[in-house]
Structure 1
Amino acid sequence: MRRINSDEERLALLEKTEQVIIEMTQRSNAISGYGKSLLQPYLRQQKQLWVPRDPLFAMYKIMFPNEVEIRKRMFRRKKGQFLVPGPNYQWCIDGHDKPKAYGFEIYAAIDAYSRNIIWFYVGHSATTALSVLKQYLTACDAYGFRPWYLQADKGSETPLIAAAHWNFALAADGRVEWNGQVFQQGKRLKDSYKAASSTKNVKIEKWWESMLHVSSRQWVDYFGELARDGDFDGDMLEDQIAMYAVFEGILRQELFDFVETWNLHWIRLQKNRPHVVHGQPWMNYHYPDPGKACNWGIPIDRCVLDEMQRPLADIDISTCLEPETKDWCRQVLVEMGYDNAILRARQESDKSRPFKRF
């Protein structure tokens, strides 16, 4: 990265950034929801544009005045306190049901201390018990540990994941030493698992709200419009297949981009809320300040993990369509010019109804 010294270079960079944002809005309006804290890291990661935050946000306010007003109203609400002693003390998990009526289901886990997203899933079976169980076991396998507490709602998809988490707790002692104290976890279910309504699962619910505002809302609104106009019927198999074939990849990439941006964005120090951990979620999760927090992750028993993963080996939750169906749809879309439609800037009339003709 080269330092920008002249006014001409700064102006050229802002003009280039403005053009990039305009081109992105021709594909979707997701960029309009990123706001002051997320917009700069998003452009750095996805477009390699290193724009100073204040001039960038000044341009954003001119381009998206309605979004600025919406965000002001969001931040005026009074918020409570939620205190945890370090990363992996509590993972909060839940599903996001807004796109469910159109065949897309979303599930995620957030670390309550750092607000780092532990895992994020987009598919067609997110809220089934087996899918959520596989997501959790895959995360524990990748990290090598489980959280001290797991918090979920009381939905039908959570009993298996509660049992899996409890099995880990029974198989290996939960023990953490920090600041001269020893913390020993009990063996009862309530000593390692919390069940509460979605409204009380505040960390993940707040994050869903951010994601809805930035990325998923525009798609939910658009899919609803397709349904109201008679262009999509969830009870029609061919309509659902077409929805997956056309929108699965686009929706997944856009949401994953938001997750990556979220984990690397900077949470500001808040004078009126000193309990809020400031800094980057990813850094606070992996490298917490040793004077203020410690890692509460408990190593998992690999034998227990293998035993629970074995019955799930043949369950594929990574795609919405069977491979043969996906390949056939892909061939048809290529023949219809789908790839060219993604790459080129579309006409303004198609902006609010992307890819409808497919």
Structure 2
Amino acid sequence: MYCPFCSNELQHLAVYCGFCGTKVEFLKSLQCQDAEAPEELIFKYFAEGHSYKVIMDLLATKHNISLSLRTLKRKLKNAGLSKRRNYTPVATIRAAIAEELKGSGQLLGYRSMCQTLRQKYSFVVRRDDVMHLLRELDPPAVHNRTMRRFTRRTYHSMGPNEVWHIDGYDKLKPFGLAISGCIDGFSRKIMWLKCGKSNSDPSVIALNYMECVAQHGLVPKRLRTDCGTENGLMAALHCTLRSEHTDEFAGATSHMYGASTSNQRIESWWSNFRKQRGQFWMNLFSDMRERHLFNGSPEHKSLLRYCFLDVVRKDLDEYKTLWNCHTIRPVRQSQCPSGRPEAMYNVPHRFNGENCGLTVSAQTLSQLYDLIPAPLTLGTDEGNANFHILQRQGGL
């Protein structure tokens, strides 16, 4: 078969013509090739990069074709196939590399890219040529590979209340104490940090959310949680509140489910919490267990919770206040600003952001709150009282 662009004979069909560099892959559909022909098998194994002796063994073992080394070399020479002659034009190689860089090929180094060009495109290339072309076409990626730097995804947020990240902290659950937290993605302000008997009761999580919305007088544009069943009621309430708006994330799209490992803002913050607060309580309760003052039974969990719940809650409130007023240093991998969370949340214009929160009617908020079932860990009267106090404080 001949190339329709330069009229040169094609000994075997590849993606590009080895003489003019034009893409001729479409010719494969015009010719019915015998996949078991010795020549095609030789060309196939040669393109895969096997040595002469390995090609001979593959032909004999897999296809029952016996060839001498001299015959093999003669067939490759007649086909114009050589590892060190008849190199593919540089312009053709550059076009193929540019095409590969549009997809997953952007992660390949020059050795892997060289192998891809030889196997996928049947090119005859030099490693040095591929290395220089990669430096020319994608210098940032080459620099990162040279520095052996792991490239992380960057977190981006337009402003406070664009995304609230919510999750539970279970490190103290063996001792009868469960913690639930929420953090704003832009400012890293802790919206709530609550401790109780359970953080897997949907009513508890929904109550925390409604109290926070009432306190701040607005709802976030989006919520991000894991796939736990405790988040279902809160997600339904949030989507209902957001159905009053007309932006692109209104209604059901305002809530995002995802893996805990992808909920990076709150998961990252839990590590800070453990270092500065959580580890103290874990060590304290573990010492009580080693001294046989706590055995993990439901009765002991209730007793420990009765003795320490108020103290832990006070400690969490203190840490929440300290965190919201501390200074966050700049991070190269993040496009979010640095500063104090409280300032970034309340005056986002000083940090190149804008408040993305949306207002909701007090009537809708009250109606939805009345639909929340009474939590198993909190009395209905106490919950209603706290909510209505926050309603008045938020001006709803």
TM-score in terms of structure 2 length = 0.54
Cα displacement (A) at 1:211: 0.5
**For residues 116 and 186 of structure 1, what CA distance do their matches in structure 2 show?**
22
> Which residue of structure 2 aligns with residue 8 of structure 1?
none
**For residues 199 and 224 of structure 1, what CA distance do their matches in structure 2 show?**
27
**For residues 345 and 170 of structure 2, what CA distance do their matches in structure 1 show?**
27
For the 8 Å contact 2:178–2:198, the answer to whether it is kept is yes
Which digits, 9 at most, give the CA deviation of each residue in 1:267-293, with x for residues without a partner? 1234x3462311100000011126721
**For residues 234 and 286 of structure 2, what CA distance do their matches in structure 1 show?**
32
> Which residue of structure 1 aligns with residue 245 of structure 2?
173
> Which residue of structure 1 aligns with residue 248 of structure 2?
185
More relative contact order, 1 or 2 (CA 8 Å, 6+ apart): 1
**For residues 147 and 188 of structure 1, what CA distance do their matches in structure 2 show?**
12
**For residues 254 and 157 of structure 1, what CA distance do their matches in structure 2 show?**
25
> Which residue of structure 2 aligns with residue 207 of structure 1?
269
**For residues 250 and 169 of structure 2, what CA distance do their matches in structure 1 show?**
31
The one-letter amino acid paired with 1:185 is: E
> Which residue of structure 2 aligns with residue 142 of structure 1?
215
The one-letter amino acid paired with 1:192 is: S
For the 8 Å contact 1:164–1:308, the answer to whether it is kept is yes
Of 99, 116, 121, which residue of structure 1 is paired with 2:172?
Answer: 99
**For residues 257 and 110 of structure 1, what CA distance do their matches in structure 2 show?**
16
Which digits, 9 at most, give the CA deviation of each residue in 1:278-321, with x for residues without a partner? 110000001112672111101113222112211448548569xx
**For residues 258 and 372 of structure 2, what CA distance do their matches in structure 1 show?**
27
User: Is residue 131 of structure 1 aligned with residue 192 of structure 2?
Assistant: no
Cα displacement (A) at 1:78: 8.0
Moved more, 308-317 or 191-200: 308-317
Cα displacement (A) at 1:218: 1.9
For the 8 Å contact 2:221–2:249, the answer to whether it is kept is no
Which digits, 9 at most, give the CA deviation of each residue in 1:152-202, with x for residues without a partner? 1100101111100110111x114xxxxxxxxx224452x211101111100
Moved more, 144-153 or 222-231: 222-231
> Which residue of structure 1 aligns with residue 49 of structure 2?
none
Of 279, 283, 301, which residue of structure 2 is paired with 1:240?
Answer: 301
Measured at CA, do residues 236 and 108 of structure 1 come closer, stay the same or move farther in structure 2, by a change above 3 Å? closer
Superposition pairs for residues 269-348 of structure 1, below 5 Å?
269-270=330-331, 272-273=332-333, 275-289=335-349, 292-312=352-372, 315=375
For the 8 Å contact 2:222–2:254, the answer to whether it is kept is yes
Task: Indicate the structure (1 or 2) with the bigger Cα radius of gyration.
Answer: 2
User: Is residue 260 of structure 1 aligned with residue 321 of structure 2?
Assistant: yes
> Which residue of structure 2 aligns with residue 220 of structure 1?
282
**For residues 124 and 269 of structure 1, what CA distance do their matches in structure 2 show?**
37
For the 8 Å contact 2:201–2:375, the answer to whether it is kept is no
User: Is residue 250 of structure 1 aligned with residue 305 of structure 2?
Assistant: no
> Which residue of structure 2 aligns with residue 197 of structure 1?
259
C-alpha RMSD of matched pairs (Å): 2.5
> Which residue of structure 2 aligns with residue 5 of structure 1?
none
Cα displacement (A) at 1:220: 1.3
The one-letter amino acid paired with 1:154 is: C
Q: How many residues align?
A: 232
**For residues 123 and 291 of structure 1, what CA distance do their matches in structure 2 show?**
35
For the 8 Å contact 1:167–1:304, the answer to whether it is kept is no
TM-score in terms of structure 1 length = 0.60
> Which residue of structure 2 aligns with residue 164 of structure 1?
237
**For residues 177 and 190 of structure 2, what CA distance do their matches in structure 1 show?**
19
The one-letter amino acid paired with 2:361 is: D
**For residues 79 and 230 of structure 1, what CA distance do their matches in structure 2 show?**
46
Measured at CA, do residues 94 and 236 of structure 1 come closer, stay the same or move farther in structure 2, by a change above 3 Å? closer
For the 8 Å contact 2:194–2:316, the answer to whether it is kept is no
Measured at CA, do residues 267 and 77 of structure 1 come closer, stay the same or move farther in structure 2, by a change above 3 Å? farther
Q: Secondary structure at the residue paired with 2:154?
A: coil
> Which residue of structure 1 aligns with residue 35 of structure 2?
none
Which structure 1 residue ranges, 5 or more long, are not aligned?
1-75, 175-183, 323-358
**For residues 233 and 110 of structure 1, what CA distance do their matches in structure 2 show?**
34
Cα displacement (A) at 1:80: 4.0
For the 8 Å contact 2:203–2:374, the answer to whether it is kept is no
Measured at CA, do residues 187 and 88 of structure 1 come closer, stay the same or move farther in structure 2, by a change above 3 Å? closer
The one-letter amino acid paired with 2:312 is: L
**For residues 263 and 186 of structure 1, what CA distance do their matches in structure 2 show?**
28
Cα displacement (A) at 1:77: 9.8
Measured at CA, do residues 141 and 80 of structure 1 come closer, stay the same or move farther in structure 2, by a change above 3 Å? same
- Greater share of residues in strand: 1
Cα displacement (A) at 1:228: 4.3
Q: Secondary structure at the residue paired with 2:230?
A: coil
User: Is residue 113 of structure 1 aligned with residue 212 of structure 2?
Assistant: no
Cα displacement (A) at 1:244: 1.8
Cα displacement (A) at 1:229: 4.2
Cα displacement (A) at 1:79: 5.7
